[in-house]
Amino acid sequence: MKYIFIKKRQILIFLLATVIFALSVVLVKTTNTKEVFYGGNLKELPIYSVERDDNKIAISFDCAWGVDYTDKLLSILKDEEITCTFFAVEFWADKYGDYLKKIVDNGHEVGTHSSTHPKMSLLDKNSIEKELLSSKNKIEEITGKQVQLFRAPFGDYNDTVIKTATDNGLYTIQWDVDSLDWKEISAKEIAQRVINKTKSGSIVLFHNQGTNTTLALPEIIKSLKNKGYIFVKISDLIYKENYKILPNGRQIKNG
């Protein structure tokens, strides 16, 4: 009898797990947001990468502290005929408005990286919205271009952060390739990391103030071009509607 009881319990556990899995599949397939099913909870996710078969990738630069290497970055990108995405903090945009204009004039796009660079998961909804709208409005005022993208400082987010961004017309963007240029590792290490980890649909994270970023970038671009990759802005990489996001953060077309 004990054996039969244990066996029945195992069957019930299996059936329950099957139902939960089936429900998670349905929820992921039917949602057009960043929600995925995690152990009975819907969790919001940003876009880490995009499922593409056309070898398009996007490189991005977070701007928060200075502009020592920004002219060189823009020169490299211009010479290579590449457009990309910059994420600017409001206090950086305020201080370096001329650089923000220069970035846009070179054909690149600018997303918001918040107003004050806080850990946004620690903020309430009203504070999150203030961070987003204040920075978005400042960037649009300086550039004359609409802001569509948001990247959370430190890559730190929770459901409230992403929902608030979505409610305000912003796509929340992470990355699947971290150059680690902020750690001031060597140009060779930066290049190897990016070249080895990039795949079709990747979003690569750099920083405009990375000490060795400009030294690594030419080799990275040359190698990835030789592999057949095409560089585009993030807004041209992601799907804007009829999509879903897998548990690993990869955005795919819905159906």
pLDDT tens readout for residues 57-114: 999 999 999 999 999 999 999 999 999 999 999 999 999 999 999 999 999 999 999 9
Domain ranges, ordered by start, for the chain: 2-44, 49-253
49-253 topology per CATH = TIM Barrel (3.20.20)
- What is the pLDDT at residue 9? 55
pLDDT at 246 over 70: yes
Task: Say if residues 58 and 49 touch (Cβ distance below 8 Å).
Answer: no
Please tell me whether residue 208 adopts helix, strand or coil conformation.
Answer: coil
Map tokens 């920004």 to a residue: 70
Which residues pair with residue 173 across a beta bridge? 47
Q: How far apart are CA 207 and CA 25, in angstroms?
A: 37
Contact (Cβ atoms closer than 8 angstroms) between residue 132 and residue 140: no
Q: Collapsing DSSP states into helix, strand and coil, what is residue 77? A: helix
Percent of the chain with pLDDT over 90: 82
Instruction: Report the predicted TM-score, pTM, of the whole model to 2 decimal places.
Output: 0.84
With 90 as the cut, is the pLDDT of residue 212 above it?
Answer: yes
